[in-house]
Amino acid sequence: EIVLTQSPVTLSLSPGERATLSCRASQSISSFLAWYQQKPGQAPRLLIYDASSRATGIPSRFSGSGSGTDFTLTISSLVPVDFAVYYCQHRNTWPPLFTFGPGTKVDI
């Protein structure tokens, strides 16, 4: 079973700063990784899939990178609406099994 670890647990930044979030897999997962954003009281939203592809309508300040076991979500310049919890997620192709990381909270 693949385990995802996210760091840091909390990232305290200011608007305009760059945010770098890490997700590490317990074994190689190729590029089968996604990132989601969740704001309080809202459902998650898909940001990045296949490690580096932005989902429809996601601003270009969000970018993903990595493969194998180490992945990064970068927010180039934070705006107030970006303060949220971010989860990484792995998908095993077959059988379909899915794992989420514990999340990183980005706050002011």
CA proximity to 32, closest of 89, 70, 79: 89
- By the rule CB under 8 A, 55 interacts with another protein: yes
Stretch that binds another protein, among 9-17, 34-42, 60-68, 72-80 (CB under 8 A): 34-42
Q: Which of 22, 44, 54, 67 binds another protein (CB under 8 A)?
A: 44
- 10 Å CB burial of residue 48 (0-12, 13-18, 19+) is buried
Three-class SS state of 81: helix
In the shown chain, the binding pattern of residues 63 to 92 toward another protein, with x for contact by CB under 8 A and - for none, equals: ------------------------x-x-xx
User: Which residues sit at the interface with another protein, rule CB under 8 A?
Assistant: 32, 34, 36, 38, 42-46, 49, 55, 87, 89, 91-93, 95-103
